Structure 1
Amino acid sequence: MTDANAGLDGLIVQPFSRRGFVMTSLMSGLTLATTRVEAQVIHTDAEGIEAGEVAIPAADGPMPAYRAVPKGEGPFPVVLVVEEIFGVHDYIKDICRRLAKAGYCAVAPELYARQGDLSTMTDVKQIIAEVISKTPDAQWIADLDATVAWATSSAKGDPKRLAVMGWCRGGRAAWLYDAHRADLKAAVAWYGPLGGDRTAIQPRTAGDVAAEIHAPLLALYGGADTGIPVASVEAARDAARAAGKEVDLVVYKDAPHGFHADYRPSYRKEAAEDGWAKALAFLKAHGV
């Protein structure tokens, strides 16, 4: 195993082949896979920052992504923003702008660009079956590594101050990427599943790698999340702590899954705002 693959034990399936990009640019607007768009949708302007779609060099061509960064020379601390299952739509783009306003170089790569065009999909079951379940963990991990390389060489990012933050499926990714990347300074997982099916291309769950994380991790979860038992998050936290790792768990008792997603009925303003404040404080407390 090469140095570039360090930390991917149990994830790489050899031979690892790529496929061409289905999505060559990001979607416009919000995901079509939502029952209705809520009135409380947050829109963050681009005043004082640079924000927009970019193309990140990947092994098989340019990967579409969204980047937001403060104006100025930098370098700025880097936050990898990992999407939900719905793609890099307006909600994820806005998160990048919020982070840029807080002083970060925030980059959200479209990690499912090879598996399907999420901009056209309206059915969650279809997204999971045709896109999410067919995306190898080794693929998106390599794509996040490519994003780090690009951000720190071409986008005013500081390679010494690196963090990852993900929502839903991206929360799972935050755990796994923390176990992969030894130079990560902090990770934030917003209601990422700890369990799930193990497959040839997704052989380990977030719970499986909890004891292997490198950077301190902040876990933000909803007590009313019917798909992620709080006990599973507590077990992951305890496994990490038993291995000498740092995991801070915050459970919002009455919050459902997706409580930060301001475009969905699941949004809970108080929990979302408190979690955001805790996330920013956590990054700063750990050198990001």
Structure 2
Amino acid sequence: MEIIKHSDRKISATDIPQEAFDWYDEYAHGDIDRRTFLSRLSTLSMAGLTLPLVAGALIPNYALAEQVSFNDSDITASYLVFDTPNGHGKGRGYLVVPKGVNATNKAPTVLVAHENRGLNPYIEDVARRLAKAGFIAFAPDALFPLGGYPGNDDEGRAMQKTLDGTKIEGDFMDAATLLKNHDFSTGKVGMVGFCYGGYLTNALAASMPDTIAAGAPFYGTPAKSNLDKIRGPLQLHFAELDKRVNATWPDYENTLKAHDIEYSAYIYPKANHGFHNDSTARYQEKNAELAWSRTLEFFNRNLNV
């Protein structure tokens, strides 16, 4: 059972009705605005829980999302500006290099793709986790052309909606090329992404099959084109209660099978969209840790060759 602490009270994720998680998913993906989300929450009977407490548990609290410190002695983290001729012209991302990795002691790389709100602290922590596991990790910020992640998800989500999705994909494609050619890189590039970043992972696997050697999308929808070009392998992670994304999986799976593309897919029981994100009540520690251990094993198997 997951326990979420907000203010001075602890609540369990099981205390929150499933409708609240579903409405949060609609809100997080721009289908309803914040006022509608909060209005709907106010209609629920939540066993004595207050509206602010439940809303606070669902909306990310990034103070909770640091599993690896930015100044951990086993990694070196920095921000890197890079050219994106296929995107907005310039990009910026969070680069994390494992201790001891250099031009003579190279390491495989992993591109990290954020959700639909820019490069937030949770995604930066994911990059640090990868570096702790021995991979060079790079997490671009799609919002860099607008000044970068603004420090809150509502504004970040609104900003990202104004950007050309094709150019965002181009920014990430150029980031993948940067990793492939980086002086410290073995030339092997993996990719992991969450929500919108899961879509980007599927999209780059389709558009850059010679670059993306292994893709691990978390609750991401399929690429819009070039599905027949995917070489894989893919490792796909889904949440059982995520109706919106899961509705796209049967056709996607049929396509992967039709083109004999190597893949494995996991559906995590009683999990909601975003279950890997440890900053909200959607987080499920057991499922998140299992999915992450599978992801690291997948990258070790396919990138360390």
TM (norm. structure 1) is 0.75
Residues 154 and 219 of structure 1, relative CA distance in 2, 3 Å threshold:
closer
Residues 239 and 58 of structure 1, relative CA distance in 2, 3 Å threshold:
closer
**Mapping for residues 1-288 of structure 1, pairs under 5 Å:** 35-37=59-61, 40-45=64-69, 46-59=72-85, 62-72=90-100, 73=102, 74-114=105-145, 117-119=148-150, 122-123=153-154, 127=157, 130-132=159-161, 134-137=163-166, 139-154=167-182, 156-159=184-187, 161-183=188-210, 184-194=212-222, 206=223, 208-229=225-246, 231-288=247-304
Local SS of the residue matching 1:282? helix
1:219-249 residue CA offsets vs partner (Å, 9 max, x unmatched)? 10001113223x4213212211111111211
Local SS of the residue matching 2:150? helix
Contact 1:181 1:214 in 2 (8 A): no
1:188-212 residue CA offsets vs partner (Å, 9 max, x unmatched)? 0000134xxxxxxxxxxx2654433
Residues 269 and 38 of structure 1, relative CA distance in 2, 3 Å threshold:
farther
Residues 223 and 207 of structure 1, relative CA distance in 2, 3 Å threshold:
farther
Contact 1:168 1:192 in 2 (8 A): yes
Q: Distance between the aligned counterparts of 1:140 and 1:107, measured in 2? A: 15
Larger radius of gyration: 2
CA drift of 1:152 comes to 4.2
Q: Distance between the aligned counterparts of 1:235 and 1:253, measured in 2? A: 21
CA drift of 1:92 comes to 0.9
1:63-85 residue CA offsets vs partner (Å, 9 max, x unmatched)? 22101111222321010001111
Local SS of the residue matching 2:243? coil
Residues 54 and 166 of structure 1, relative CA distance in 2, 3 Å threshold:
same
What residue ranges of structure 1 are gaps of 5+ in the alignment? 1-31, 195-205
1:108-127 residue CA offsets vs partner (Å, 9 max, x unmatched)? 11123225754155537x82
The aligned amino acid for 1:134 is: L
1:151-210 residue CA offsets vs partner (Å, 9 max, x unmatched)? 344451221x1111110000001111000112221000000134xxxxxxxxxxx26544
CA drift of 1:215 comes to 1.9
Local SS of the residue matching 1:107? strand
Q: Distance between the aligned counterparts of 1:48 and 1:117, measured in 2? A: 27
Local SS of the residue matching 1:134? coil
> Percent identity between the aligned chains?
25
Local SS of the residue matching 1:81? strand
Contact 2:96 2:137 in 1 (8 A): yes
Residues 188 and 275 of structure 1, relative CA distance in 2, 3 Å threshold:
same
Q: Distance between the aligned counterparts of 2:195 and 2:74, measured in 1? A: 29
Contact 2:239 2:268 in 1 (8 A): yes
Q: Distance between the aligned counterparts of 1:64 and 1:38, measured in 2? A: 21
Larger RCO (CA under 8 A, 6+ residues apart): 1
Residues 234 and 268 of structure 1, relative CA distance in 2, 3 Å threshold:
same
Local SS of the residue matching 1:144? helix
How many residues are aligned here?
Answer: 240
Partner of 2:13: none
Partner of 2:9: none
Local SS of the residue matching 1:150? helix
TM (norm. structure 2) is 0.71
CA drift of 1:146 comes to 2.4
The aligned amino acid for 2:206 is: A
1:121-143 residue CA offsets vs partner (Å, 9 max, x unmatched)? 5537x825x52363232x23332
Instruction: Please report the RMSD computed on the Cα atoms of aligned residues, expressed in angstroms.
Output: 2.5
Residues 58 and 245 of structure 1, relative CA distance in 2, 3 Å threshold:
same
What residue ranges of structure 2 are gaps of 5+ in the alignment? 1-55
